[in-house]
Amino acid sequence: MRSGGTPLALGLALLGISGCDPVLEDRIAQLGPETPGVRPGPFHRPGQPCLACHGEGGRARPQLSVAGTVYRDPADTRPVDSAEVILIDATQARYTATTNCVGNFFVTPGDFAPVLPLWTTVRLGTFSIDMESAVHLNGDCASCHTDPLARASAGHVFLTDDPALIGTVPEARCN
């Protein structure tokens, strides 16, 4: 498995450098167009893999090193506003990003260019939840955290799965 993976990864990296990676282009096309009425920016495409377009091989600017979307609980896609996403990389460097009113957070390489693996905790007030394992793949949370929960997917990122607490998470509202 491991030795078979190397040439593919190398091939993709080379294609990425040449700027025409058909796998990536396909993946981006599958995400579809912008939601009508939402301008490309901090509030667009919640839940989508931001780095597909904003990562190293992508063309959208700014380039992002880490990005994702935080939701209230495992069963619901209500976003969580003002949650802290605490990131700790392999060198113990630490950076805290904050979600906006659609639950999105994003980090540019200028802010923080983590050395993988990356450990993460999401926090809001007294709520705190760790990702138990480290993120080895890249900083694109939705590359694993997509719905529905399945063998190849961790489901969306959520703040709490404690039924007693779910109802107390503040409702996010964009003005």
Segment interacting with ligand HEC, rule: CB under 6 A, options 4-12, 13-21, 61-69, 75-83 = 61-69
CB of 17 vs ligand HEC, minimal distance in Å: 19
CA–CA–CA angle 142, 93, 46 (5° rounding): 20
* Among the listed residues 73, 89, 158, 169, the single contact to ligand HEC using CB under 6 A: 158
Beta carbon nearer to ligand HEC, 26 or 132:
132
Q: What angle do CA 64, 65, 71 make, to 5 degrees?
A: 85
97 near ligand HEC, rule: CB under 6 A: no
Query: What is the x/- site pattern for ligand HEC, positions 7-36, by CB under 6 A?
Result: ---------------------x--x-----
Draw the binding track, 103-122, toward ligand HEC (x: CB under 6 A; -: no contact). Answer: -x-x-------------x-x
17 vs 161 by CB, closer to ligand HEC: 161
Candidates 34, 110, 109, 99; CA nearest to 68 is 99
Q: Strands across the sheet with 94-98, in order?
A: 94-98, 84-88, 119-124, 127-130
Secondary structure class of 123 (helix, strand, coil): strand
Tell me the H-state helices in the chain: 2-18, 22-30, 50-54, 163-166
Give min distance, CB of 56 to ligand HEC, in A.
14
Cβ-contact 56, 150 below 8 angstroms: no
54 forms part of the interface with ligand HEC (CB under 6 A): yes
